[in-house]
Structure 1
Amino acid sequence: MDLTLQVAIDCTDPQRLVSFWADALGYVPEPPPGGHDTWRDYWADMGVPEEELNGVGEGPESIVDPTGQGPRVWFQPVPEPKAVKNRVHLDLKVGGGRSVPLAVRTQRITTTVERLTGAGATVLRVMDRPDMDYYAVVLQDPEGNEFCVG
């Protein structure tokens, strides 16, 4: 079986999340397929009906890992805002694992959290458990989707 993983995130403003998550993950906005100036042009050429293209912007709605290692992330436009807690979330592992001293992991995580809050994330809670050799931060992206930095 040939399997490709794509992460899909429902949102109301794909362009805002493309910008945020490209920065957060070190990804790049996915360019439209060759011969097309925009993704909207591509989808129109593929025969997607005009009524389904309503709300599709000119810019990319997906990001890709420039190294080709990580999954594609697609920001699926939906009409309704986020209403409940995520059942699935992303974990950004920046600390280096338990073989790295807790103080070093904490500093790495704090630096990343500061960068992401500067880009529009909001801190929900800090999970600071030195007695368990653990430190992580739960945040929300600009549309309220939860994710962890640890």
Structure 2
Amino acid sequence: MAALIDLTLDCTDAQLLAAFWRTALGYVDEPPPAPYRTREEWLAQFDLPEGEDADDGAWLCDPDGVGPRLCILKVPEPKTAKNRLHMDVRVPVDGGPAQRWARIEAEAERLVEAGGSVLEVFEGHHVVMADPEGNEFCVAAGPVRR
């Protein structure tokens, strides 16, 4: 049996990044583990360091249960170098090269409006972008989920 993975992003503003990635991926806030009703209630069982609170983290999940969970956690140090691992946001496309590229361009534009930025364009293939805190990711074409 294959292992499941979660992806974790370090950041300085977990709520800002969570809002961006909800938009980018169509993810939703993951409910707290049972029997807790809220994240704050769940976090209260831990001895959090002084100055840390529930807004220092966000947990997102694919509402269809297909994609990996995304954990977004505030850390004290800033991002200083290129990611060693990045995500590819694969937009569903059913069509030829022109349709694929138009869909990739439209998605990149939508993500710029959500707070991302374009770093490099590989015409006809993919767009390298950064989220609001500079974490790199690519927008490319993917299969249509059926």
TM-score (norm 2): 0.85
Given that 1:95 and 1:104 are in contact with CA atoms closer than 8 Å, whether structure 2 keeps it comes out as no
Relative distance call for 1:70 and 1:62 in structure 2 (3 A) is same
Give distance in 1, aligned partners of 2:92 and 2:122.
14
Alignment of 1:1-150 (within 5 A): 3-34=3-34, 36=36, 38-45=38-45, 48-51=46-49, 54-58=51-55, 61-94=58-91, 96=93, 100-128=95-123, 134-150=124-140
Residue type at the aligned position of 1:66? P
Rg (Cα) greater in structure = 1
Give the match's secondary structure for 1:84: coil
Give distance in 1, aligned partners of 2:2 and 2:130.
33
> Tell me, which stretches of 5 or more residues in structure 1 are unaligned?
129-133
1:95 CA displacement: 5.7
Give the match's secondary structure for 1:54: coil
Give the match's secondary structure for 2:52: coil
Give distance in 1, aligned partners of 2:40 and 2:51.
10
Give the match's secondary structure for 1:61: strand
Per-residue CA deviation, residues 16-75 of structure 1 (Å, 9 max, x unaligned), is 111110110111011323454542331222xx2132x63233486110000111110000
Relative distance call for 1:88 and 1:28 in structure 2 (3 A) is same
> Tell me, which stretches of 5 or more residues in structure 2 are unaligned?
141-146
Residue type at the aligned position of 2:134? G
1:115 CA displacement: 0.7
Residue type at the aligned position of 1:23? T
Aligned length: 140
1:101 CA displacement: 1.9
Measured on the aligned residues, the alpha-carbon RMSD in Å equals: 2.1
Q: Higher mean Cα deviation, 23-32 or 54-63?
A: 54-63
Residue type at the aligned position of 1:12? T
TM-score (norm 1): 0.83
Structure 1 residue runs of 4 or more that deviate by more than 2 Å after TM superposition: 1-4, 31-38, 53-60
Give the match's secondary structure for 1:124: strand
